[in-house]
Chain A
Amino acid sequence: MADKIVLEIARYAPEKDEEPSFQSFEVPFRKEWVVLDALNHIKDKIDGSLTYRWSCRMGVCGSCGMMVNGEPKLTCATFLSSYGNGAKVRVEPLRYFPVIRDLVTALSDFLVKLQSVKPWLIRKDEPPLSAGEFLQTPEQLDLYKQFSMCINCTLCYAACPVVGLEPSFVGPAAIALAQRYNLDNRDQGAQERLGLLAHPEGIWGCTFVGECTRVCPKHVDPAGAIQQYKLKAALEWVKSFVLPRGHDDESKEVRS
Chain B
Amino acid sequence: MTMQPSTEFHPRWYRAKVSTYWWMGSWRYLLFILRELSSVAVAWSVVMTVLLLRALLNGPEAYARLTQCLRSTWMIALNIITFCFLLLHTITWFNLAPRAMPVRVGGKRVPEFLVAVPNYALWVVASAAIAWFVLRTS
Interface residues of chain A, those whose CB is within 8 Å of chain B, are: 12, 14-15, 17-20, 70, 95-100, 106, 137-139, 142, 161, 164-165, 207-211, 213-214, 221, 223-224, 227-228, 230-231
Contact = CB atoms under 8 A, between A and B. Distances in A.
Contacts of B108: 139, 142
Given A70-B26, A164-B18, 19 more contacts: A15-B11, A19-B1, A97-B15, A99-B14, A100-B10, A100-B13, A106-B13, A138-B107, A139-B108, A165-B18, A207-B32, A207-B36, A208-B100, A209-B29, A209-B32, A211-B29, A221-B99, A227-B101, A228-B101
Contact of B99 (A70, A96, A209, A224): A224
Contacts of B18: 96, 161, 164-165
B65 interface: no
A162 to B, nearest CB: 10
Interface of B: 1, 4, 10-16, 18, 22-23, 25-26, 28-29, 32, 36, 96, 99-102, 107-109
B18 to A, nearest CB: 4
A237 B14 CA distance: 41
B21 to A, nearest CB: 11
Contacts of A17: 14
B124 to A, nearest CB: 25
Given A213-B99, A228-B102, A99 B15 contact: yes
A58 B36 CA distance: 38
A106 B55 CA distance: 61
B36 A231 contact: no
A230 B107 CA distance: 22
A100 B1 CA distance: 14
Given A142-B108, A161-B23, A228 B100 contact: yes
Contacts of B102: 224, 228
10 contacts: A19-B14, A70-B25, A99-B16, A100-B13, A139-B108, A164-B22, A165-B22, A210-B96, A213-B99, A228-B101
A234 to B, nearest CB: 11
Contacts of B22: 161, 164-165
Contacts of A161: 18, 22-23, 29
Contacts of A15: 11
A14 B23 contact: no
Contacts of A224: 99-100, 102
A231 B29 CA distance: 24
Contacts of A100: 10, 13
A36 B12 CA distance: 26
Contacts of B107: 137-139, 142
Shortest 5 CB-CB contacts between residues of A and residues of B: A139-B107, A227-B100, A98-B13, A224-B99, A164-B18
Nearest to B1: A19
B100 A231 contact: yes
Contacts of A139: 107-108
A98 B4 contact: yes
A18 B16 CA distance: 11
Nearest to B100: A227
Contacts of A70: 25-26
Contacts of A137: 107
Contacts of B100: 208, 224, 227-228, 230-231
